[in-house]
A and B are shown apart, each in its own frame.
Chain A
Amino acid sequence: MAGDKSFNAFEMAQTQFDKVADYLDLDSATRELLRECFREYHFSVPVKMDDGSVKVFRGFRCQHNDALGPCKGGIRFHPQETIDTVRALSMWMTWKTAVVNIPLGGGKGGIICDPHNLSDNEQERLCRGWVRQLAKNVGPLNDVPAPDVMSSAQHMLWMLDEFETIHGAKYPGFITGKPVGMGGSLGRKEATGYGLIYTVREALKELGIRPEDTVASLQGFGNVAQFAIRLYTQMGGKVICVSCWDQEDQCSYAFRKSSGINMDELMKITNRFGGIDKEKAAEIGYEVLPGDAWIEQEVDILMPCALENQINADNVNRIKDCVKMIAEGANGPTTPEADKVIEEKGIFVVPDFLANAGGVTCSYFEQVQCNMNYYWEKDEVLSRLDTKMTAAFIAVSELAKKHKIYMRDAAYVIAINRVAQACKDRGWV
């Protein structure tokens, strides 16, 4: 649609890139290269359905850039996927791997389908069909897929099996997101939450505050928040408030204990989805407050670890003056309006891009372990994660200091600069 001004994710990603490119003063060839996907595959996947008929599905794979290493990115099953969305997501993957400085590029792929309309057998044939079309163009050395929207570990294993059958050898590093024992990595559950706290620890160092002197409030009580709290309290910090979703009441509640929450007692009354039983919590001495109370606590650190857009124009002014840092465990928890206020207030922000990169780093470790066919103990995974995250944080924060720019911008700048540099080094531009 010519002249269509409607929202387009890829255009948004390009605009975001253009701003940083201007800042870095990239040459036009580099810009042209990085504004578009390096390679794109569009293909058909015919699938024999259970009733004997054949249905043809459309498949994609976008490889945005592989200057730093093999592309990395998920496979989405979505009934109304548009190529522009996939392009945008593959570009973001390039920046995401670059910011933590892991030797990977960015990719994304998908199949236009609604798995609700497909039986398990049909899904298996679809997964295998997708790999058959792409077997020559993906692999541990050039493009590594992973689970994404509506795709699961089972899908990854079917795809891996097809890939290995075609190539006649074992390549567990072809795909990530596998279960432990089938080429998966230990430490994956902890990775994002621990990664977040590694960056918080480094940030506190920067601010010259001892962790044991700090108090924090978190939004969310899922995987990320739970491991973040564990590591943070191990470091000596005190969490006085967490909020979480209550399925029964269809709203969230905040749970406060000024002497500090106790993870062991809370976990006993928490369901698998991170929902805390509010009656039982009250019984053991927690104050049960409205869900948004987490943001207005007198704490040093706020960690939004739930959904996007949680810190917005409506509530940003309820953040107390004593808050010194916001570490974004969730994706996009802060709206642009709120971000401005936070910047003005001078609160130190560890942007989502960097703060929750523990997940992608662990995927990278999964691939590394697969490629050498030797799997680390959990401690080793987590200590290597520490090294990576710490280095990534220091690089971003030093850049922010040096260039006197906001942390969020610094993260983008460092990522794009790394990719641009690699393209140049390879003599592409």
Chain B
Amino acid sequence: MDNKNGSVKSIFRDLRERTKELDCLYKIEALLNEKHTSSLSGLFKRVIKVIPGGFLYPDDCCGRIIYKGEVISLKDNPKTPWCLEAPISIYGKILGKIEVFYRKRHDEMGSNPFLKQEKQLLKTIGERLAHAIFQFEYQKALTEAEALNGDAKSVIRKEWVIIVDLLKNTDQKLYSRIARKLANYLVWSGHKKAGELIQSFSRNEILLIQDADMNQPLQKRTLTGMVEIAATVFSLADDILTDDEILICVKKWIQEEKAADIVQVLGKYDSTMSEIVEAVTRYHFISSNDGFKLSDHTDMGLRVSMIRHFFFEQLDFINIAKNFIDIEDFFGLVQKIIYPMGSHGKLGGKSAGLFLAYNILVKSDQAEKLYSTLKMPKTWYVSSDGLPTFIHYNNLEDVTEQKYKEIDQVRMEYPQIIQLFKNSYFPPDILRGLSLALDDIGEKPIIVRSSSLLEDRLGTSFSGKYKSLFLANQGSRQERLEALTDAIAEVYASTFGPDPIEYRAERGLLDFYEEMGILIQEVVGHKAGPYFLPTYAGVAFSNNEFRWSPRIHRNDGLIRMVPGLGTRAVDRTSSDYPVLIAPGKPALKVNITPDDTARYAPQKLDVINMKTNQFETIDIQDFIKEYGRELPGINTVMSTYERNMLRPITAMTDFQKEDLVVSFDGLRERTNFITLLYSILNTLKEKIGTPVDIEFASDGKHFYLLQCRPQSYSSGTKGSVIPKNIPTDKVIFSANKYVTNGLIPPISHIVYVDPEGYNSLTTIDDMKAVGRAVAKLNKVLPKRQFILIGPGRWGSRGDIKLGVSVTYSDFNNTAALIEVALKKGKYVPELSFGTHFFQDLVEANIRYLPLYPDDEGVDFNWSFLKNSKNILKDIVPEYEYLSHTLRIIDVPASTQGQFLRILTNADQDQAVGFLGTGVESGDHIDEETDILDSPLEDHWRWRMSMALKIARQSAEKTKGIEAVYIFGSTKNRTAVPSSDINLLIHFRGDPIQRRELELWLDGWSLCLAEINYLRTGIKKPEGLLDVHIISDQDIAKGNSYAMKIDAVTDPAEKLSLN
């Protein structure tokens, strides 16, 4: 710890020095920018006065400038051995130098008393001085010319001639290069004589080269020769071109030459981050001082190479980004990059997406009108090679061996790796940068997010594999810095977690994994009581894949938002709901009655507790009662709720007594938020050329963009390719309207309620019994592997005749809910679109599909649904009497092992359900692009191997385990990212053993869920294992799960325990 304290102290000292250096630089900049500088020596003296302030021992420090042989200093200080100098050169020609020296020796600094940074400082001052000298001389020449113009007798000197003369005197190389360009220009304009001049340039150059080859000093005549030819070119041009034309050309070429070294650094493939940052900074100064402008092609070339350096190599990204990101934009960016010495790192995908999106928006034609409230939170970036540098600095190279270990071992060692990383040190360069970042952000909470390089390729999804850590960022400077480094260490450690390794190994990306960018972002929001939170936050999608009304189109988009931190909107939770809005049709609400609005309103709030420095989930009601008034914009979030009526919050609203619910009605009705967000989605979609998903937050006043990526990255929203050649007899149904994208796993069981059969039921009790039977089937059929197909509106509230009466819990294990609209005379009934339990479906990712069998061009295989074997009586014998209405089809049993595959493609507005094997070739647009799209093989194989492992280990560990069975999607080889692993354990042990077993399994379950999350981005906070422990008695009685053993349909499979 002492060691750590020491290092922190040294950081503070370093920081103090950097501040002094910057301060000095700013002062000098101010001097150089002063108008009406009458003499150079006066300027030099003022500069010398300022310089000592930037050095470690200012009282003992003095400086002098030597320019064209003249020495300028404040006092007659003799030069000492402790001296530092930097040249003053214009276009390579050294005109003088600047010196700084200490009057006495400073032993504590050793033989060289100057810091590395001080050397850099002096070099920069020299460069700035040279620039100022050039400006001064140029102005002087101009003034002289003007004075001469005033004299009628003198020859009028043209402006371009003055410039060219100045060049001739200061920089002959540049002079001849400009002449050469002018000659080229003349040739292009059709002047033959210029061609001859070019040839003489070339001859002279050859001579130069030959001279150089001979390894002898340059012959003077050569350069003079060049100068002479140049003079001929200028005089020729004077005859042919107008003065203005020549002036424009000469000025442009001079500017291009000025940028030459910047171009060189940026164009070089292996320039380091610090070289690039320096070049960009220099560019910023040059361009802001002189109204400087690069030619369009050079400008574009530089943009492209910078995008390449900081972000991506991929052409598709560059092609878009280069049109929206200016070189000047990078100046803002480079100030906030933290990188190790000699870094060649990049910033990662998350940073790139955000930076691009923000620049697209602020440069769009809507920017002024609509986006005046748009902001990007203060963001700092740690370059991707921060991680390898960290590993190297702490001698942690061994950790890279993790990737060769067995996944179990990786899992077991992972917690130790986190601790190891947290107890390691950061290299001083990085620490300094982090410290600056903390200064810039101040004592506001921050979020540390990973920004993976694997997102680089457009089309690679790494969703869910990010780690984001919130920090309250409170306390002393040292505490804050420690908390930040701890968090970064944890994010770094996460690359060595079990699954990223497995994921990368599968894709041959193991060599990449050590690199990962980090984003340090200020959390948007306000303090309210002890908490810190944004007024609201959420995610928004260009394409709406969950539509609750046929009037809502796919491109109307979808917003999922909550009050407080957006974490609750990003993740799906079973017990809470975000508010859903289609920004293109904001008036069409998901919930119609105030009671439903209240029921499906968010009930919890994610916040940062500034007292405990913790991320917390709290109850909205408690928060509002206590601190609601302190939150800006609360009246746009909440409404009062009384007797089935929602009303806006007013100044009279009593937060303590009244019932308030989250409705966002205020935001919808009284602000331009929805228009803004819709426009953002549309602009980004148009410019990036693909639907996007964004994360946002608001402090009640401004709209902050937090993230932007193509929507296809988010899980499961990509359309499937609908195969054209499915044999007609294999098609069970098809649809050509109201289709939304979403992955549906292979289906082993169809629960089909026959429309005619249902219509012919004569008593209300029979109709209700259909609903009860469905509820029972929901409990016994394999989870997410069966679908419900039924007439009209499932869960119809008004009239049981119109659809089977069920509530959400009666079918919450289905994979999809399908409603069939059959024509009645000329009238096609309206379907429900699942609105009765819409938000439940969304949160559970249960897909909804409406079918219209009477429409042209669609199929509905009545014969298969009506004639396949009905296994209703085998599963729920008590409902056998409903057999003519309710049919359960075991698809593999009825079709020799095939499954019902349902593919949807919203772009084409088409869906098809057909019989096929586990995986069809047409399943996915691009198998490589998304782990969700990776062959289904992956998911069941991984689950099966885990199941086998668990079975074996549990049998070794616990006495009394008779057998372990697997059933459901893993057994059927149809598991998808969200599938559970269903296990049946036949157990004969005592209650204590059972309790131990359950605890042990719970641990596994949570752990597998975490691995699955990292693999796929699908969160299953309840765990991944679905374990049913059954006794002899259960088996004897054939209780529900015991029934699975030797079941008629989909029997459980015994796992080997050896």
Q: Which residues of chain B are near A189, meaning CB under 8 Å?
A: 643
Q: Is A35 an interface residue (CB 8 A)?
A: no
Q: Is A115 an interface residue (CB 8 A)?
A: yes
Q: A116 vs B550: C-alpha distance in the bound complex, in angstroms?
A: 9
Q: Is B659 an interface residue (CB 8 A)?
A: yes
Q: Which residues of chain A are near B643, meaning CB under 8 Å?
A: 153, 177-180, 184, 188-189
B588 to A250, Cβ gap below 8 A? no
Known pairs A81-B799, A82-B801, A117-B588; A153 contacts B644 (CB<8 A): yes
Known pairs A154-B645, A248-B574; A6 contacts B761 (CB<8 A): yes
- CB proximity of B811 to chain A, nearest CB, Å: 10
Which residues 291-318 in B have Cβ within 8 Å of A in the complex?
none
Q: Is A26 an interface residue (CB 8 A)?
A: no
Q: A7 vs B805: C-alpha distance in the bound complex, in angstroms?
A: 14
Give per-residue flags for A148-159: 1 if the beta carbon is below 8 A from chain B beta carbons, else 0.
011111100100
- CB proximity of A80 to chain B, nearest CB, Å: 5
Q: Which residues of chain B are near A147, meaning CB under 8 Å?
A: 644
Q: A242 vs B832: C-alpha distance in the bound complex, in angstroms?
A: 34
Q: Is B1036 an interface residue (CB 8 A)?
A: no
Give per-residue flags for B908-934: 1 if the beta carbon is below 8 A from chain A beta carbons, else 0.
000000000000000000000000000
Q: Is A119 an interface residue (CB 8 A)?
A: yes
Chain B residue with Cβ nearest A246: B575
Q: Which residues of chain A are near B809, meaning CB under 8 Å?
A: 250-251
A116 to B588, Cβ gap below 8 A? yes
Q: A290 vs B576: C-alpha distance in the bound complex, in angstroms?
A: 23
With beta carbons under 8 angstroms apart, the residue of A115, A157, A273 that contacts B599 is: A273
Question: From DSSP, what is the main secondary structure of chain A's interface residues?
Answer: loop
Q: Is B185 an interface residue (CB 8 A)?
A: no
Q: Is B864 an interface residue (CB 8 A)?
A: no
A152 to B593, Cβ gap below 8 A? yes
A80 to B592, Cβ gap below 8 A? no
Known pairs A12-B764, A80-B799; A150 contacts B592 (CB<8 A): yes
- CB proximity of A288 to chain B, nearest CB, Å: 17
Q: Is A402 an interface residue (CB 8 A)?
A: no
B588 to A80, Cβ gap below 8 A? no
Q: Is A79 an interface residue (CB 8 A)?
A: yes
Chain A residue with Cβ nearest B803: A80
Chain B residue with Cβ nearest A308: B768
Residue total for A at the interface (Cβ-Cβ under 8 A): 49
Q: Which residues of chain A are near B94, meaning CB under 8 Å?
A: none
- CB proximity of A5 to chain B, nearest CB, Å: 5
Chain A residue with Cβ nearest B599: A273
* Most B C-beta atoms less than 10 A away, residue of A121, A154, A189, A336: A154
Known pairs A80-B802, A154-B594; A118 contacts B588 (CB<8 A): yes
Residue total for B at the interface (Cβ-Cβ under 8 A): 53
Q: Is A85 an interface residue (CB 8 A)?
A: yes
With beta carbons under 8 angstroms apart, the residue of A78, A117, A177, A184 that contacts B798 is: A78
Which residues 145-198 in A have Cβ within 8 Å of B in the complex?
147, 149-154, 157, 177-180, 184, 188-189
Q: Which residues of chain B are near A272, meaning CB under 8 Å?
A: 598, 621, 659
Q: A52 vs B32: C-alpha distance in the bound complex, in angstroms?
A: 65
Q: A153 vs B594: C-alpha distance in the bound complex, in angstroms?
A: 9
Q: A147 vs B644: C-alpha distance in the bound complex, in angstroms?
A: 9
* Most B C-beta atoms less than 10 A away, residue of A153, A251, A273, A336: A153
Known pairs A7-B801, A335-B765; A119 contacts B587 (CB<8 A): yes
Q: A147 vs B643: C-alpha distance in the bound complex, in angstroms?
A: 11
Q: Which residues of chain B are near A250, meaning CB under 8 Å?
A: 574, 808-809, 812
Q: A189 vs B551: C-alpha distance in the bound complex, in angstroms?
A: 36
Q: A118 vs B590: C-alpha distance in the bound complex, in angstroms?
A: 10
Known pairs A147-B644, A153-B644, A248-B574; A116 contacts B768 (CB<8 A): no
Q: A117 vs B760: C-alpha distance in the bound complex, in angstroms?
A: 30
Q: A80 vs B644: C-alpha distance in the bound complex, in angstroms?
A: 24
Q: Is B835 an interface residue (CB 8 A)?
A: yes
Q: Is A114 an interface residue (CB 8 A)?
A: yes
A149 to B797, Cβ gap below 8 A? yes
Q: Is B364 an interface residue (CB 8 A)?
A: no
With beta carbons under 8 angstroms apart, the residue of A6, A116, A154, A180 that contacts B760 is: A6
Q: Which residues of chain B are near A122, meaning CB under 8 Å?
A: 587
Known pairs A80-B829, A248-B574; A152 contacts B588 (CB<8 A): no
Q: A121 vs B665: C-alpha distance in the bound complex, in angstroms?
A: 14
Chain B residue with Cβ nearest A150: B592
Which residues 66-92 in A have Cβ within 8 Å of B in the complex?
76-82, 85
Chain B residue with Cβ nearest A250: B809
- CB proximity of A147 to chain B, nearest CB, Å: 6
Q: A251 vs B812: C-alpha distance in the bound complex, in angstroms?
A: 11
Give per-residue flags for B631-647: 1 if the beta carbon is below 8 A from chain A beta carbons, else 0.
00000000000111110
With beta carbons under 8 angstroms apart, the residue of B598, B760, B764, B801 that contacts A5 is: B760
Which residues 610-660 in B have Cβ within 8 Å of A in the complex?
621, 642-646, 659
Q: List 14 A-B contacts (CB under 8 A).
A: A7-B763, A7-B767, A12-B764, A78-B797, A119-B585, A120-B587, A150-B592, A150-B593, A150-B797, A152-B592, A153-B594, A179-B645, A250-B812, A271-B603
Which A residues lie at the B interface, using CB under 8 A? 5-9, 12, 50, 76-82, 85, 114-122, 147, 149-154, 157, 177-180, 184, 188-189, 247-248, 250-251, 271-273, 309, 335-336
